[in-house]
Amino acid sequence: FSSAPAPIKATLFPGDGIGPEIAVSVKQVFQAAEVPIEWEEHYVGDQIDPRTQSFLTWESLESVRRNRVGLKGPMATPVGKGHRSLNLTLRKELNLYANVRPCYSLPGYKTRYDNVDLVTIRENTEGEYSGLEHQVVRGVVESLKIITRQASLRKTDGLFLKCCREVAEKYPEITYEEVVIDNCCMMLVKNPALFDVLVMPNLYGDIISDLCAGLVGGLGLTASCNIGEAGIALAEAVHGSAPDIAGKNMANPTALLLSAVTMLRHLELYDKAERIQDAILNTIAEGKYRTADLGGSSSTTDFTKAICGHL
Ligand code: ATP
Ligand code: MG
């Protein structure tokens, strides 16, 4: 008689828009690969939870704090309703200071570039996203861009650079170079193979990682993982809730699946991570089942079934 080890508990936020559809894909693929994970599912509430002052429930934040690992779908924040964005609240409440966004050319899926293999590390809690905005006089709004030494240093324009230099000095085996953001955009488009790892403040990281997604085939493909205080890892796709295709069984679940794969690596479940990643990449390379964003006509469900078949 041998008992299997207890499954690892992980928090799952299916999120809004296409979120629930692509979260189902992840659950099915994980089941097919027999990943020893038990999901604790949490949805964003439809009213403000007084304990968090946001639509995120106290229980959902506690779940991430307790499990210290999770996966989140996109969360859409109603515009102009005068409350903090859900993503911002999550990042601030859980102190998710870095967002790690790997991006690489998929073998078998042709784009203008076939040699992209880089990681963007985006500072995740400060800069223009600090949420410090006020009206100076009627018609003029001032928004503050905040950079602190503490948040800048955790990740590994002035202070941010200084902190990067300090850390770089401790790792002489890593070649450290500085590139100004406008030049960086030009270089990336001209020859993305010039870069291995890009570390940058919040807004630049947001823009550059979308640019990088575009280099390899779009937002449906790129993964990310938020790293936070006390070793929290909350994986999430780079894309948003894609309201234009929500509920149509059209979304590409690859971005969320590959994000889930980064979560497995964080948990050191390397075997499962490799198997699932291979199954996804093989399905795309084979070309028989592809979603519309990749020029195919498969539904989310059929593409997911094909991945499970490869497993
Ligand atoms: P949000 O405000 O939540 O960011 P958005 O309108 O900006 O939503 P995004 O999710 O950022 O939408 O998507 C931008 C475009 O990329 C949309 O046309 C969307 O359909 C497409 N897209 C994003 N994610 C996916 C995906 N997983 N599969 C297919 N298409 C996607
Ligand atoms: Mg968007």
Structure ipTM? 0.94
**What are 281's two structure tokens?**
């990449």
Mean pLDDT of 81-92: 79
Whole-angstrom distance, CA of residue 162 vs CA of residue 216 = 32
Provide the whole-model pTM.
0.91
pLDDT at 144: 67
Q: What is the mean pLDDT of the chain?
A: 91
- Measured in Å, residue 12 CA sits from the centre of ligand 1 at 20
Residue 200 pLDDT exceeds 80: yes
- DSSP-derived 3-state class of residue 10: strand
CA 40 to chain centre: 19
- Measured in Å, residue 241 CA sits from the centre of ligand 1 at 6
- DSSP-derived 3-state class of residue 168: helix
Please work out whether the CB of residue 296 comes within 6 Å of at least one atom of ligand 1. no
Task: Put residue 134 in one of left, alpha, beta given phi > 0 → left and psi -120 to 50 → alpha.
Answer: beta
- Using alpha carbons only, give the angle 45, 145, 85 rounded to the nearest 5 degrees: 10
Residue 81 pLDDT exceeds 70: no
Q: How confident is the model at residue 41 (pLDDT cuts 50, 70, 90)?
A: very high
Whole-angstrom distance, CA of residue 211 vs CA of residue 132 = 26
Mean pLDDT of 134-146: 74
Among 171, 166, 155, 168, residue whose Cα is nearest residue 204: 155
Q: What are the two backbone dihedrals, phi and then psi, of residue 261, each rounded to the nearest 5 degrees? A: -65, -40
Among 121, 180, 114, residue whose Cα is nearest residue 152: 121
Residue 155 pLDDT exceeds 70: no
Ligand sitting nearest the alpha carbon of 241: 1
pLDDT at 156: 47
Please work out whether the CB of residue 93 comes within 6 Å of at least one atom of ligand 1. no
Among 101, 119, 96, residue whose Cα is nearest residue 231: 96
Index of the ligand 1 atom closest to the CA of residue 292:
29
- Measured in Å, residue 193 CA sits from the centre of ligand 1 at 26
Residue 5 pLDDT exceeds 60: yes
| Minimum CA distance residue for ligand 1 atom 25 | 220
For tokens 């948040």, the residue is: 151
Whole-angstrom distance, CA of residue 208 vs CA of residue 5 = 41
Please work out whether the CB of residue 16 comes within 6 Å of at least one atom of ligand 1. no
E strand map for the chain:
8-13, 37-41, 69-72, 98-104, 117-123, 133-137, 140-143, 197-200, 225-227, 233-236
Mean pLDDT of 275-302: 97
CA 210 to chain centre: 11
Instruction: Report the run of H or E that residue 183 belongs to, with start and end.
Output: helix 181-190
Percent of residues, the chain, with pLDDT higher than 90: 72
Q: Which of 24-28, 127-131, 179-183 has the lowest mean pLDDT?
A: 127-131
